[in-house]
Amino acid sequence: MASDRLPWRPRLVTFDCGDTLLFDPAGHVDELRLDGLRQWLAIHRPGGPDDRLRDIYRRSLARCRAELAARPRPGAPVLVALLLDELGLAPPADARGRLEDRLDDPLPAAREVAPGAREALGALAAAGVRLGIVSNAGVKSGGSMRRHLDAGGLLAFFDPDCLAFSDECGCAKPDPAIFAGPLRRAGVEPGQAVHVGDRGGLDVAGARAAGMGAVRYRGLVDDAGAGPEADLVVSTFAELLAALGYAPR
């Protein structure tokens, strides 16, 4: 980190979603997905729990993540297909859809807003900075992330044209292509934009590859990862405002 502040004020700031703007305070999303799978099986495959279910879930999740990294797309249908294949089940489409919904968003009311995020977004928006999101969806969908952002009072701060979720755009960080849409639609050159996220190997590497500035936020997860160094590293959203040149006077 060369300094405590960027030498220029960005016109566009994009944010990662999970572990940057929002987080699961209990850190148990996979346990909730596994519980949802058990409940679904109790209805659609009577006969008691499968002792192998945890291993089947973990194996299917690992394969799902590998498939999504190779070809980003909606993740819950991929995970469900892998699980059903392992379990030897072929349920009707409506039952399959209910399982996809359960695994997409097992935390309908439990995600929390990162401390200070709401105030920082409000300050940036009030200063005329355009705000966007560039986020890898994984198993969860862009739709579920929008719902959580809206529930947390954050979605209204963002330009609807500057939202890029990997399951919707077909590319994922660190591929610089995922940043191209928000930049183009905002009419902002990469050198006038900054991305903020928690993962060095994804957020920082992707932003750098796109020609943008990069700020790593370590307030929830401290993951420098492999790859280029961020322009700045911040631990709070107050530090972020100062780093971008918008600290309260």
Which pLDDT tens digit goes with each residue over 171-201? 999 999 999 999 999 999 999 999 999 999 9
Which residues make Cβ contacts (< 8 Å) with residue 218, sequence separation at least 6?
198, 233, 234, 235
Q: Are 80 and 104 in contact (CB under 8 A)?
A: no
SS3 219: coil
pLDDT classification of 2: cutoffs 50, 70, 90: very low
Class for the domain spanning 12-24+112-244? alpha beta
Query: pLDDT at position 103, please?
Result: 96
Tokens representing 104?
């997409």
| 135/202 Cα distance (integer angstroms) | 10
Mean pLDDT of 8-12: 96
How does residue 1 score in pLDDT terms, banded at 50, 70 and 90?
A: very low
Would you say how long the chain is, in residues?
249
Task: Report, as residue numbers or ranges, the catalytic residues.
Answer: 16
Distances (CA, A) of 219 to 134, 151, 172, 206: 18, 21, 23, 20
Angstrom CA distances, 234 to 160, 170, 185, 231, 244, stand at: 26, 30, 28, 10, 11
The neighbouring-strand residues paired with 194 are: 13, 213
Tell me what the mean pLDDT of segment 72-80 comes to.
97
pLDDT-derived band at 239, boundaries 50, 70, 90: very high
Residue 25: CA count within 13 A, CB half-sphere: 7
Question: Can you give the residue ranges of every domain in the chain?
Answer: 12-24+112-244, 29-104
